[in-house]
Amino acid sequence: MARLNTFEAVVEELDARRSFLVEAGAGAGKTTDLVRALQYLLSHRRTDLEANGRQIACITYTNVAKKKILERISADPLVAVGTIHEFLWSVIQAYPRELWQQILDYNANLSKPEDLTEMAAPPVIEYSDRGRKLSEGRISHDDVIALSLRLVATHPKLIRIITSKYSVIFVDEYQDTSPKTIDLLLNHLAGAGKEPCVIGLFGDSMQKIYRSGVGAVRHDKLTPITKTENYRCSRPVVDVLNKMRPELRQQASGNQQKGEVHLFLNTDVPPGPRRLDAARATLASRDWTLENSKYLLLTHRGIAGTLEYANLLEQYRQLGSHGPDDLMARNEPYIQYLTQIEALCAAYQERDFVELTDLMGQGKRRITRHTDKRIISKAIRELDTVRATGTIGDVLDLMAGSPLLAVPGTVKDRERRRTAADLDERHKRQADFSNNIRGVSYREVISVTRFIDELTPFSTQHGVKGDEFENVVVVIDDSVWTMYNIGKMLAGTDKPERTERSRNLFYVCCSRARRGLAVVFINDLPDGAEATARDWFASGAVHP
């Protein structure tokens, strides 16, 4: 009998109502198989699902993945697509009394429990992505996961309710799922119910790069299905991936067969940014441009230095643990206003007067007469001069008296408080932030805005999982990392846990390349690492 392809193997398990795990390397089309499996179920079980008021659950790791899957199944209402937190919260929020009892027990075991003894009545419980405050009924990402497992483990009736509603539960990128969620799915839901609930895990254990993820999963209830095709990467890139991961050898199966691979050691150049400059010069001679290449660094801090917004990022780090995320998501009043200013300037420079009029309509002035255009042109020219040479404070001061965008009330409040006395700790930290950010060069706002708007070729390596690019340049600087060390991983001299994290991240980065892959080491490799690096990149060119 011929070997079943991945989709056929999945269908065989679904028809037999057995749970399964699809393990597939990068570029294998895992999500395509997941979508095809959903379409198969909708085609063959629609009548049964509708008659019994049941659904298929599809759990994703990110909202981006959620959106893609919804688009590909035309948002069919018989499939509940959501992130793991959305799915679990939808399950437990209907049982507030039982949930509150679990919260009390859960709180008692926390390292810093809250005092909940004086509460007259349980609060309304809500799930928030901004942290835990149990006394106000607010539970966090991690709390939702932990409390869901506790509820299911102590209330068997809840298992029957879940499995009667969801006959099949798929998990995309299973390797990034919490071990507690995998415990809930496999040890409590898989096989439970009148019609055994089927759990289908799709992912790649080698692409686990988040510490909270479960990684590889092996379980008696799971039928393993392995997929070896790589439809993304060229043959030379696949050869590198197979050296990294000999236990799952892939075949280059896509249209992009030709490609090139480069390993840059550049030991004749002093360690540091000049080694990257040398590599870029070599690649430019081979027609690698900023338009057709993506440069991957590990952290926003690394990119901030490259793109010159390191001081701005540091101020947001000082603001609090959510500060960098608020900067990148434009969730903080200063960056919201400053990026509006950048949008105004961009519209003017591009002569996009429709957008300019729209932005101006949100502020102080509407463009109705020719004199308005002259006033606005003069104001923007003045603004451009300060943007190029001044600080954020200089721009804020100019805008306070400018006929352009009005300063929002939230920014005005922060500006007033920065010189106030007798502030509490939270407002004092905010005032320090307001004062410090004013001294940062405004050019850093221009740089970070370009990065957020994806106008640069640079990305963080965590941020590209699932993406692909024609050419990829992976920049390795182990001196700025603590959780990863690619050099020691290659030398085989690091701790097992960090070695695994480093290899996984390196694999994820290299496997984003469709045609060309280049790896650039900014610093000298440790003893024993170069031999492994040369072996892995034997399919390409090594620049010693």
Q: Annotation-wise, does 65 bind a ligand?
A: no
Classify residue 119 by burial, with Cβ atoms within 10 Å: 0-12, 13-18, 19+.
Answer: middle
d(CA 250, CA 247) in angstroms, rounded, equals: 10
pLDDT for the residue 363: 46
Q: Is 30 labelled a binding residue?
A: yes
Whether the CB-CB separation of 237 and 517 falls below 8 Å is answered with yes
C-alpha distances in angstroms, 507 versus 211, 471, 521?
16, 15, 15
Predicted confidence pLDDT, tens digits, the chain (544 residues): 445 799 999 999 999 999 999 999 999 999 999 999 999 999 999 999 999 999 999 999 877 788 889 999 999 999 999 988 899 999 999 999 999 999 999 999 998 899 998 887 889 999 876 678 899 899 988 899 999 999 999 999 999 999 999 999 999 999 999 999 999 999 999 999 888 999 999 999 998 877 788 999 999 999 999 999 999 999 999 999 999 999 999 999 988 789 999 999 989 999 888 898 899 999 999 999 989 998 887 655 665 666 688 899 889 988 887 788 788 778 899 999 998 899 888 888 877 766 777 777 654 445 556 666 788 888 889 999 999 999 999 999 999 988 888 888 889 989 998 988 888 888 888 999 999 999 999 999 998 888 777 655 566 655 555 678 999 999 998 876 777 899 999 999 999 999 998 999 899 999 999 999 999 998 899 999 999 999 999 999 999 9
Largest CA distance in the chain: 81
Which of 258, 254, 250 has its CA nearest to residue 540? 258
Q: Which of 65, 96, 98 is nearest to 82 (CA)?
A: 65
Q: Is 117 annotated as a binding residue?
A: no
Is 133 flagged in the annotation as binding? no
Question: Residue 227, Cβ neighbours under 10 Å: how many?
Answer: 22
Q: Is 533 annotated as a binding residue?
A: no
Distance set, CA 23 to CA 20, 29, 44, 204, 462 (Å): 10, 11, 25, 5, 21
- Determine the length of the chain: 544
The three-point CA angle 126-103-172 to 5° equals 65
Secondary structure E strands in 114-222: 126-127, 138-139, 166-172, 198-203
Write down the pLDDT at residue 317: 86
At 364 the pLDDT is: 46
d(CA 349, CA 446): 14
Pairing of the two strands 55-60 and 229-230: unpaired
pLDDT on residue 1: 41
Q: Whole-angstrom Cα distance, residue 523 to residue 41?
A: 52
Q: How far apart are the first and last CA of the chain?
A: 50
Q: How far apart are CA 79 and CA 69, in angstroms?
A: 10
Strand partners for 473: 295, 518
Distance CA 491, CA 494 (A): 8
Q: Is 192 assigned a ligand-binding role in the annotation?
A: no
Question: Which own/partner contact pairs does 124-129 have at CB distance under 8 Å and 24+ positions apart?
Answer: 124/96, 125/93, 125/96, 125/99, 125/100, 127/85, 127/89, 127/93
SS3 content of the chain, % helix, strand, coil (to 5): 50, 15, 35
Strands (E) across 302-452 are located at none
320 is in an annotated binding site: no
Tokens of 8: 């056929």
Summarised one tens digit per residue, pLDDT across range 356-375 is 777 776 544 455 566 667 88
Map out the domains of the chain with their CATH numbers.
6-95+155-227 (3.40.50.300), 236-298+461-542 (3.40.50), 308-453 (no CATH)
Contacts for 443 with CB less than 8 Å, ≥ 6 apart = 308, 387, 388
Which tokens is 262 given? Answer: 């480069």
Alpha-carbon distance of 226 to 23, in angstroms, equals 5
Q: Where are the alpha helices (DSSP H) in 73-168?
A: 84-92, 96-108, 141-154, 156-165
The answer to whether the annotation marks 29 as part of a ligand binding site is yes
Radius of gyration of the chain (CA): 27
Q: Is the dihedral of CA 73, 75, 76, 78 positive or negative?
A: positive
CB 512 within 8 A of CB 472: yes
